[in-house]
Amino acid sequence: MNRKKITAITTILLATLSLAVIVWSISISAEPETKLSINPPLLSFETLTPGQRFSVNVTVSNITDLKSYELKLSFNTIMLDVVAVAFLPEANLPIGNFAVNDPAGILQMSCTYDGSAISTTAPVALTTITFKIMARGSSPLHLYDTVLRDSDGDPIPHTTEDGLVQIIRHDVAILEVMPSTYETYQGLVVIVKVVAANLGDAPENFTISAYYNSTVFGTFDVINLLAGSNTTKFFIWDTSSVVAGYSYTIKAEASAVPSEADLSNNVKVDGSVKVKLIGDVNNDNIVDLNDLIAWDVAYGSTSPLDPNWNPQADINEDGKVDSADGTLIVQNYHKTP
């Protein structure tokens, strides 16, 4: 490589290095940009309800000599209502005006400081806005048409940062509990249908528990049930372990999810299922001649279409009333609880 080419390459490299140093110096010396912000930028309430109130601030940071400002703030008017505006900081003697256009969901504000102008690096609250919750949902808080001016009336360049408010309800519920029968014989199984729902605004994880009296006989973990959705589960209750001759309350419960305020619908009771003595066809808590008579009347029937069908006479639940059912009555004759 000849000397001229080496010299040219060296010149280019030095020029590139000098340019990089200049750019770096400018970036180091540049002042942070002035920012007008909703603070906090995200508000997510999981326990507030319509009628309650909350507040946000409009803050400014990295500014010198702020003497006045104007701004507009849009919000979801179906969800929120402006109920109070406080101009800050009090030490700077703010003189402010505001107007709310409820149908459009617009808050318009202007303020001049009668005291000293504001100079700050850290965020300083210029105003506190208090909203009343009208409904659940999501509302952007959008700053626009913003003007910041110094003591000479000149505009101050700046950026804006919007906010977001979410009012979320967490609510799971048991809608239905339905046993397959309200009378059964000890040792048989009862199928219990349970319908659970997510009545809230966010996907939920919870556990469904099925009970007879206070004893759990089945659980199921519901994962990521979407808002507004239902799920149906079937639980098997084996009555072998319970005492015959008594009624047992059937209920289902959905475990509470985080921040759930209304627990009144988490439990639903269906009533009761009578677990009968084997052979007690007429459900009078004694196996006797009356049960044999009821069995005899239904003898030979095989379905609800038969005029003499009696499901309680089909003691072994094999779909027919026959001698096997009569044998069970005889084997348990004279039994009481």
Q: How many other C-beta atoms are found inside a 10 Å radius of the C-beta of residue 309?
A: 16
Of 53, 59, 109, 106, give the one whose Cα is nearest residue 83.
Answer: 53
* Strand-strand pairing, 159-161 and 35-39: parallel
- pLDDT at position 209, please? 98
- Give the start-to-end residue ranges of the domains of the chain: 35-167, 170-276, 279-337
CA–CA distance from 328 to each of 256, 289, 297 (Å)?
A: 45, 13, 16
Residue 4, both tokens: 């001229």
Asked whether the domain spanning 170-276 has the same topology as the one spanning 35-167, the reply is: yes
Contact 227, 202 (CB under 8 A): yes
Count CB atoms within 10 A of the CB of residue 322: 18
Query: pTM here?
Result: 0.69
CATH of domain 279-337: 1.10.1330.10
- Position 21 scores a pLDDT of 44
Tell me how far apart the alpha carbons of residues 21 and 261 are, in angstroms, rounded to a whole number.
60
DSSP string, 46-65: SS--TT-EEEEEEEEESEEE
Alpha carbons 325 and 270: distance in angstroms, whole number: 29
**Angstrom distance (rounded) from CA 206 to CA 224:** 9
Going across the sheet that includes 189-198, the strands are 172-179, 189-198, 230-238
Kindly give the pairing relationship between strand 94-101 and strand 183-185. Answer: unpaired
The 10s digit of each residue's pLDDT in 210-268 is 999 999 999 999 999 999 999 999 999 999 999 999 999 999 999 999 999 899 999 99
Three-class SS state of 288:
coil
The answer to whether 317 touches 306, Cβ cutoff 8 Å, is: no
Closest CA to 174 of 285, 279, 119, 256: 256
What pLDDT, on a 0 to 100 scale, did the predictor assign at position 47? 83
- Mark the ranges of the chain whose per-residue pLDDT is less than 50: 8, 13-15, 17, 19-29
| Closest residue by Cα to residue 67 from 154, 6, 146, 144 | 154
Domain 170-276 classification at class level: mainly beta
User: Residue 3's pLDDT is what?
Assistant: 55
Biggest alpha carbon–alpha carbon distance for the chain = 126
Whole-angstrom Cα distance, residue 88 to residue 59?
A: 10
**CA gap 55, 258 in Å, rounded:** 24
Secondary structure class of 15 (helix, strand, coil): helix
Q: Is CATH 2.40.110.20 the classification given to domain 35-167?
A: no
Taking a C-beta distance cutoff of 8 angstroms, is the pair 53, 83 a contact? Answer: yes
